Each structure stands twice: as structure tokens, then as C-alpha cells.
Amino acid sequence: MEYIPAKSIVSGYAENNQWFGVNYNMNIYRGCSHGCIYCDSRSEVYGIERFDEVRAKENALDLIASELRAKRKKGVVGTGAMSDPYNPYEKKHNLTRGALTLLDRYGFGAAIATKSDLVTRDIDILKRIAVHSPALIKMTVTAADDALCHKIEPNAAPSSERFGAIARLSEAGIFSGILMMPVLPFIEDTEENITGIIKLAHESGAKFIYPAFGVTLRQNQRQWFYKMLDTRFPAAREKYIKRFGNDYACHSPNADALWTVFRKKCDSLGMPYEMRDIISGYKQGYDDPQISMF
């Protein structure tokens, strides 16, 4: 493990954040080893050199403890936006587990985005957090089929293991669901794939699915994405260039039809997919002023 200096880890405060109702952000690690072909965190705007190498921030747990003690307002701390908190190093170093222990100690909630079934290791702490504060797991799944998943997210846990993790989390009473994004145009944007994810999510006990039928591309992220398309989906690159050019937002040509299918299937299963319903669902029963905004 390589360590890098950090002045702050738990950053910002958003009173009315409509992205899953998260109040603070926390990134313990820098870089990611999943190798996903679409990752936005590769963009130049984030300034992450050697992105494929996972590094940890120095004295992370001491710094997190100090910052949490100094916070005047409690709230939900989100992690996983820039780097998966359950990378392979986490098995040995337990920095995410340590951070969750601190969130519990100081009375904060947690909202975790991940592609790893290692999150189930920390069910005990998540259950303790859920006693006093909201706890949410967002498991990213963009392909129902493990073979397709491996081509797109080669070093991450296969989709079947992620659904298995959702099942274990749900059985433990942890509010967990699927972050179905990005759905890659010309690759994943089929009715078969979308309905397959919904079916598996329902069977695993997921409490929600939040989708985006498309992908965002910018700066060197686009170069990496096209390089990966050339080796894994050779016919797709020209389709992207012809359809999207240098557009930042690349919406699936099938988006309208997929939304119709998605809504119909989710509604038939009683599966929430609107952000306001997801936020109110995982925060229900907690004294949180954000819920009143809806």
C-alpha cells in the first residue's frame, strides 16, 4: 500500500442534497483497480494520476475521527463516489471498516457506493449505524450477465456476486439497492439486459433501482473508453463517434423505450426508482430534516 498526504477526508456539508440525501463526502482511497472501461473518475478534471493504482490517504482514521468530532451537524456520510471503498487492499487494511466504526461512534449515517461483495463483511457495523442513523448501500450493476459484466468491469466482482451481496444485506435489514448506471449505448441498452437486472434485483431483495440509460464521456476518459471498445466491442466505437461526436452526455438511442419498459416492470414489482422515494425510504423513521423537503 502506498500512502499519500491528505489535509481533509470528510468534506462539505449539503443540507438539501438530492443525490441520495448525502450530507458529507468521504474518500479514503485514491484510484481504483476495477478497470471499468467507462469510469468518469479517469477524467482530467479530477487530477488523479496513475488512476489504476489504489493508494490510501495518510493517517486516514485519525483524520476522520478529528473531522467528525468537529462537525456541528450530524448527517449521512457518502463514500464510493471517486474510488470504491471495498478495493482488494481493504481486505487487509480495514480502513473503510475503521471509518464506518467512527461514523457509528460519532452518530453519523452512511451511504456506500460499491461494486464489491466485501461490503457484507461490515454488516455488523452497518446494523449498529442503522440503530441511530440512516444506512444505505448502492450496489452498481449494469449487466445482468456475468460474461458481459466481465468485459465492461473486468476486475470487479461479477454481477451474480453483487446480487448475492444485496441478498445478504437485505436479509440483515440494511437498506440496499441497485445503481444501474451507466447503461452503455449499443452494448447494454437492450430490453433483455434491463429486465434481467430488474428481475435479479427483485429476487435478491433490493429495495430500489436507480437507472441512467447512457454514459458521460469527457477528456482522457473518452480516449480510454474508445481504446477499450476497440479491444472488446470493435463495432461500437464508430457508432459512438457517429451518434455522439464529442458530446459529454451520450444518451442511449433506446432511452425512451427502455424507460417505458423499466417503469412498467418496476411498478409491477413495487420497486422504487424515483430519487425522492429512495431517500424517504432509507431515511424513514429517522429524525432528518431533509425528508421534509419532499
pLDDT of residue 294: 36
pLDDT of residue 293: 39
Model confidence pLDDT, tens digit, residues 267-280: 999 999 999 999 99
> How far apart, in whole angstroms, are the C-alpha atoms of residue 78 and residue 159?
22
CA-nearest of 182, 197, 153 to 250 is 182
Q: Which domains does the chain have, with CATH numbers?
A: 2-293 (3.80.30.30)
Q: What SS3 class is residue 229? A: helix
Identify the helix (H) or strand (E) that includes residue 214.
strand 214-216
Q: In the predicted model, is pLDDT for residue 27 greater than 80? A: yes
Q: What is the average pLDDT across 45-74?
A: 88
Model confidence pLDDT, tens digit, residues 177-199: 999 999 999 999 999 999 999 99
Q: In the predicted model, is pLDDT for residue 288 greater than 80? A: no
pLDDT of residue 290: 46
> How far apart, in whole angstroms, are the C-alpha atoms of residue 128 and residue 5?
30
pLDDT of residue 262: 98
Burial of 235 (0-12, 13-18, 19+ CB in 10 A): exposed
One-letter identity of residue 39:
C
pLDDT of residue 51: 77
pLDDT of residue 46: 59
> How far apart, in whole angstroms, are the C-alpha atoms of residue 207 and residue 122?
19
One-letter identity of residue 253:
P
How far from 275 is each of 6, 17, 19, 240, 280, CA to CA, in Å? 32, 11, 8, 29, 9
> How far apart, in whole angstroms, are the C-alpha atoms of residue 184 and residue 80?
20
